[in-house]
Every structure is written in C-alpha cells, then in structure tokens.
C-alpha cells in the first residue's frame, strides 16, 4: 500500500434492530498515486468500496433483504483484496427486495443492478423492477402443482441498447412416486412468455447483428420430464466390516419442443456449467431468454460408501446426456448451434474421498464433445487438523474453447482468458503461538509459467480485537508486447474491534476467503 501513497480506511458497522440485522462496510483510500499514474486523465482519484447486507422478517410474513456492493471504479478489485468481491466475478450486484410469504404462496418485488468491471463494454442490464410469484398446491390427489409467474422490466446502462418488459407464466403438475428403494417423478409444465421490446433501431440497423429483433414476441413451450432413481445397498462385511455400499442409478428423459428465439434479445440468460448434478437440470441456460429445445436422455450412476457410524466416506458419480435431436434456440450467436451434433455429447464426473478424519479429496471433470475437449476440471486435497490448522493443494482448469463458448467476446478474448485457465495452487493456515496464526497462499499459472497470486498474512486474535498484517502479490495484466507480466503488490494492515460477534476464532478462514482465488473446503 506504500506505493499508493496513502492509508486505506476500512470501516465495518453491524446493527441489530426489530426490522432485522445487517452489516455495512465503507473502505476508503483518499488518493492513489499508482491509479493516477495509470489513469492520468482522471486526476486525483478517491478509491472506495461500499457494502450493505441486510436480512429481516416482520410479522412472520414480510421479508426485507439488501445485498448491495459498489466500488469507485472497475479496477478496484484488481488492486485491492476484499471479502465482498473479486475481479474474477466480473461485476458487483446491487439488489433490494421485499417479500411476502404465507402457506402455499409467496411474492417478491425486487430491483437488481450490476456494476460491470469492463471498460471496453459498459453495457449491463438491470431489473427495475421484478416481481416473482409462486403458488403451491400439493397433495391434490396424487399430484403436486405449482404456478410460477414473473414480470420484469429490463433497462440498459446505454441509450442505444434494446430494452424490454417480460411477462412469464409457468404452471407445473407432477406425479411423485417413491418408496425406500426408489422414486419416479413425472412432470409436465407449460412455459408462456411475452416480450415487449423497445429501443431496437440501433441494434436492428447494425449489419453486424445477424438476428433482428421484434417489437412483440410470444413464446409458448411445453415441457415433459420423467426422472427415475433406484438405490441398491449391500453390506461390505467381507472387505470392511460395518461398512455399507450403495449403487444409485438414475435415468431422466426430457422433452422441450424447438421455438425460434432469434427475435428475442438475451437480457439475462447464460450457459450453466454441467457438473454431475447439472446434467439433470431442465435448462441448459439460466434465465428465461434462452430455453433450448430438448429430446434427450440423461443417465448417471452414483456409488457411496458409509462407515459403521453412517458417515459417508467415499462417493463417485459419472453421467452423460444423449441427444436424439440437436438442442437449439435459434440464436445464431451461440456457436455450437450450427454444428448439428447429436448423440452422447456431454459427460461429467465427480468424486469425494474422506480419507481420514483429517484428510479429504474432492475432484470433478466435465467433457463436451461439441468442444472436442475437456471443458472444465478441478481437484483439491486438504489436510485439516481443526478449524485453524489446514493445508490444501488444488488445481483448476477451463479450456479456451469452453471460455469462448460461454463468456462474452470482450471477456473470452482478454489476454488472461484466451489460452484458458490452468492453475495449481496451495493454501495453508497454522497457529504459531498463543493467539497468533499465519496464513499463506500461492497459485501458479501453467499457461504463462508465472505465479498468479501470492499471499502471506499474520494475525493476532483476542476476544476484544484482532490485528491482521498481510502482503499480496498478484498478476494484474500484461504490458503492451504481452511478454512481461504486470504484478500488483499490496501490504494491508487491519484492526478489528470485537463486540457484536461471538465468534472469537483465529479468523484464518476469513483471511483465506478474501484472497483473489478464495479457499473452499474439501471436507
């Protein structure tokens, strides 16, 4: 922080009232010499972060929630570490919501805005406002029913981008059948959506945009799904007395007819990652603007091993999706919709091994034949002696083909993403004396053969206050010839006064989670 020529003030305020509990944080750096040198046109720059989290219930039926994060500029999370955001997130969210819930019914009104951390493309959509309604009526004979409705108005930060009002209605009926060794769930739903789109002239007159948008669009799509599971169990007395193994095959058929959605702009949809559980989702995309057609069977199998205390010691799952017809939305901007591929296209596997009370291993991999590559994979090996004593080794990978297919072009072509993500790392936390502890993290990017992030922290902790000192050096871009990495070095000093919190642990988990590649437990 000395290079920036000033002290950053971090102020945290907690409150508890009849309207709920919350936390506010204001971090402020009066001036920043490094930022001023890199952005001379902006002059004296005040760097700041404001965070507000609130959750409250009133009269047992009203719910009030705030999740608000805003920063002074798009480079803030590149330059400073914070537990309230990361440069890898790509954006900060500002959301306010009010909800009402009684038996079988709930409704929520919310507004949601985004601060996008990309200077090349400052376009982002906000929901101003959004209404979500759910009505449930279960045990209607052998059936369960639900009606979901949504009305939302999308507004863009730019004047030349499309905007829309979207109204969606989704009645669902399902027939659940189950016993102790299996289940069968048959479900049918109707998805009816109306779009009223405005401000389309600039988009439609741009010759680079292949899909031309319509002022008014109605889209009606039925969906049918059958999902069956079985659980087989056997005693492992011959190999491990007291241990039990299960074998859990699962088969799901999903049908959604094709509807051309090229006349609808993509306001809130993005591709969902297909881990093992994700193979059995109804949707390929999040949001409602892109609902892909489906005529597919998903098959998978899981095996678990439990010890004599019914603690899960090991599991492994593997599954795949077989497409009878191509999954399509009609959007020409989605690259793989032009491939016309069918068959077994997506595979995923997950595994977890609790080696002992202190050792754990977790791993996952996803393969997509449409990309002709492993899409993503990750693994972590952790030794945990107690809450504050741990060592973790981890690895994460995302192929460049996967990133190009899932991220907008202004992200996927960025220098740090164009070769994919291929990183190995280690994090550690250990007490070194009474009330003193040390934490460290090191990540190495194998694509660039350079360290991506290095962190070392020291903390003193008591019931009344905590003092933290930390140093971090992280990769923050490349110079113009793209041959030399640019690193940002930061020294942090933090004093925390304790009072409202009853958690007087050493706080090492908090220091690790505030890292740019945050710690996640493998246990």
Instruction: Return phi, psi of residue 203, to 5°.
Output: -70, -50
Output the six-digit token pair for 98. Answer: 């009010």
Supply the pLDDT for residue 514: 52
Q: How many CB atoms lie within 10 A of CB 519?
A: 24
Q: Which two tokens stand for residue 334?
A: 């989605």
Sequence-separated contacts (24+) of 243-247 with Cβ below 8 Å: 243/305, 243/306, 243/307, 243/308, 243/313, 244/305, 244/306, 245/303, 245/304, 245/305, 245/306, 246/302, 246/303, 246/304, 246/305, 246/306, 247/301, 247/302, 247/303
pLDDT of residue 498: 64
What's the confidence (pLDDT) of residue 510? 58
Say which residues have a Cβ less than 8 Å from residue 158's Cβ, sequence separation at least 6.
Answer: 122, 123
Read off the tokens for 213: 């948008």
131 neighbors 109 (Cβ within 8 angstroms): yes
User: For residues 368 and 273, what is the distance between their CA atoms, to the nearest angstrom?
Assistant: 11
Burial of 41 (0-12, 13-18, 19+ CB in 10 A): exposed
Supply the pLDDT for residue 517.
44
Q: What is the per-residue pLDDT for 10?
A: 83
Chunked mean pLDDT (size 10), the chain, 523 residues: 68 89 91 75 80 93 95 83 74 93 96 81 84 94 95 92 96 95 96 96 87 94 97 88 93 96 90 86 91 95 93 94 91 73 86 92 89 86 87 89 67 61 89 86 85 85 81 71 69 69 48 50 57
Give the pLDDT score at 248.
Answer: 96
Structure confidence at residue 88 (pLDDT): 63
pLDDT at 2: 52
Q: Is 420 left (phi over 0), alpha (psi -120 to 50) or beta?
A: left
Q: How many CB atoms lie within 10 A of CB 206?
A: 10
C-beta of residue 170 within 8 angstroms of C-beta of residue 219: no
Distances (CA, A) of 305 to 223, 238, 263, 292, 381: 36, 14, 50, 37, 19
**Amino acid 200: pLDDT:** 93
CA distances from 511 to 14, 83, 199, 279, 493 (A): 19, 8, 46, 34, 12
pLDDT at 352: 94
Q: What pLDDT does 15 receive? A: 92
């Amino acid at each position: 922080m000395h290079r920036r020529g000033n002290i950053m003030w971090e102020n945290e305020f907690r409150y508890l009232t009849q309207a709920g509990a919350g936390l506010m944080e204001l971090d402020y750096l009066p001036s920043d010499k490094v930022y001023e040198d890199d952005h001379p046109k902006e002059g004296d720059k005040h760097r700041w972060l404001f965070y507000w989290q609130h959750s409250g219930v009133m009269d047992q039926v009203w719910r009030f929630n705030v999740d608000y994060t805003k920063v002074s500029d798009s480079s803030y999370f590149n330059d400073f570490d914070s537990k309230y955001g990361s440069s890898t997130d790509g954006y900060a969210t500002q959301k306010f919501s009010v909800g009402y819930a009684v038996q079988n019914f709930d409704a929520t009104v919310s507004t949601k805005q985004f601060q996008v951390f990309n200077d090349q493309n400052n376009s982002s959509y906000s929901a101003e406002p959004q209404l979500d309604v759910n009505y449930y009526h279960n045990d209607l004979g052998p059936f369960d029913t639900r009606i979901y409705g949504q009305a939302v108005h999308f507004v863009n930060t730019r004047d030349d981008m499309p905007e829309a009002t979207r109204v969606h209605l989704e009645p669902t009926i399902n027939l659940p059948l189950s016993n102790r060794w299996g289940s069968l769930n048959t479900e049918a739903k109707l998805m009816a959506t109306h779009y009223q789109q405005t401000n389309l002239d600039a988009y439609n007159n741009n010759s680079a945009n292949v899909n031309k948008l319509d002022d008014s669009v109605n889209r009606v799509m039925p969906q049918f799904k059958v999902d069956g599971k079985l659980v087989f169990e056997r005693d492992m007395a011959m190999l491990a007395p007291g241990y039990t193994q299960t074998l859990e095959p699962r088969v799901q058929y999903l049908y959604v007819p094709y509807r051309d959605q090229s006349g609808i702009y993509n306001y809130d949809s993005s591709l969902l990652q297909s881990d093992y559980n994700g193979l059995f989702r109804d949707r390929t995309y999040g949001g409602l603007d892109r609902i892909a057609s489906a005529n597919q069977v998903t098959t998978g199998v899981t095996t678990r091993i439990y010890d004599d205390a019914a603690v899960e010691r090991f599991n492994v799952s593997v599954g795949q999706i077989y497409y009878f017809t191509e999954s399509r939305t009609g959007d020409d901007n989605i690259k793989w919709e032009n491939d016309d591929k069918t068959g077994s296209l997506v595979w995923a596997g997950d595994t977890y091994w609790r080696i002992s009370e202190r050792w754990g291993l977790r791993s996952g991999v996803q393969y997509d034949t449409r990309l002709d590559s492993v899409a993503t994979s990750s693994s972590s090996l952790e030794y945990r002696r107690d809450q504050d004593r741990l060592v973790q080794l981890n690895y994460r990978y995302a192929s460049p083909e996967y990133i190009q297919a899932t991220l907008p072009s202004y992200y996927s072509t960025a220098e740090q993403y164009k070769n994919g993500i291929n990183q190995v790392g280690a994090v550690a936390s250990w007490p070194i004396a009474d009330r003193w502890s040390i934490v460290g993290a090191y990540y190495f990017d194998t694509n660039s053969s350079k360290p991506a992030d290095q962190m070392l922290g020291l903390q003193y902790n008591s019931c009344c206050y905590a003092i933290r000192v930390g140093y971090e050096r992280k990769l923050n871009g490349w110079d113009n010839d793209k041959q030399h990495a640019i690193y940002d070095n930061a020294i942090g000093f933090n004093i925390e006064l304790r009072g409202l919190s009853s958690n007087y642990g050493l706080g090492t988990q908090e220091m690790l989670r505030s890292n740019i590649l945050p710690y996640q437990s493998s246990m």
